[in-house]
Amino acid sequence: MEEQLVDFSMLEELSGGDAKYKYELLEIFLNTVDGGLNNLQQLTEEGIDYDAVYKQAHTLKSSAAIVKVKDMYDRLAKIEDMGRNIAEARTTSGKDEIAHLVGQMVTTYQQARPLLVAAQQKNKPAA
């Protein structure tokens, strides 16, 4: 059986089924992840500031723990750890792997984003 692209179980648990709360959490998630992934991608393309890379990955992990996009949390944890190691000069290896992980994550997120937007709109409060 293929693993689902988005797991909303934690969102459901946190919201207690409250549609307005789900809408707001998804709004925050989409805004945070859209900007954060763009920033992470730019940082890895520049390949200079791995302190910023691991901090950005750490920030995104919080959102990825609530709205679970396939493999996002695990990839962010690995990027965070590897970025910290590079930033602290314990190693210089891993830059290419970080870029690869970010690329995979961006692709997966682009596939999941329409599902996230649809879930958000489904829970939009009546005007």
Q: What is the pLDDT of residues 70-79, one digit of tens each?
A: 999 999 999 9
**Any domain includes 94:** yes
Q: Which residues contact 2 (CB under 8 A, 6 or more apart)?
A: none
Q: Degrees (nearest 5) of the Cα angle 102, 108, 110?
A: 100
Average of pLDDT values for 94-100?
Answer: 93
Average of pLDDT values for 20-27?
Answer: 95
Q: pLDDT-derived band of residue 127, with 50, 70 and 90 as boundaries?
A: confident
- Give the C-alpha separation, 82 to 84, whole Å: 5
**Any domain includes 51:** yes
- Give the C-alpha separation, 76 to 65, whole Å: 10
pLDDT recorded at residue 48: 87
Q: How many domains does the chain have?
A: 1
**Any domain includes 98:** yes
Cβ 49 vs Cβ 43: under 8 Å? yes
**Any domain includes 96:** yes
Share of the chain above pLDDT 70, in %: 95
Domain ranges, residue 77: 18-121
**Any domain includes 63:** yes
Q: pLDDT-derived band of residue 3, with 50, 70 and 90 as boundaries?
A: low
Q: What is the pLDDT of residues 31-88, one digit of tens each?
A: 999 999 999 999 999 988 999 999 999 999 999 999 999 999 999 999 999 999 999 9
pLDDT recorded at residue 126: 85
| Mean pLDDT (the chain, rounded) | 93
**Any domain includes 9:** no
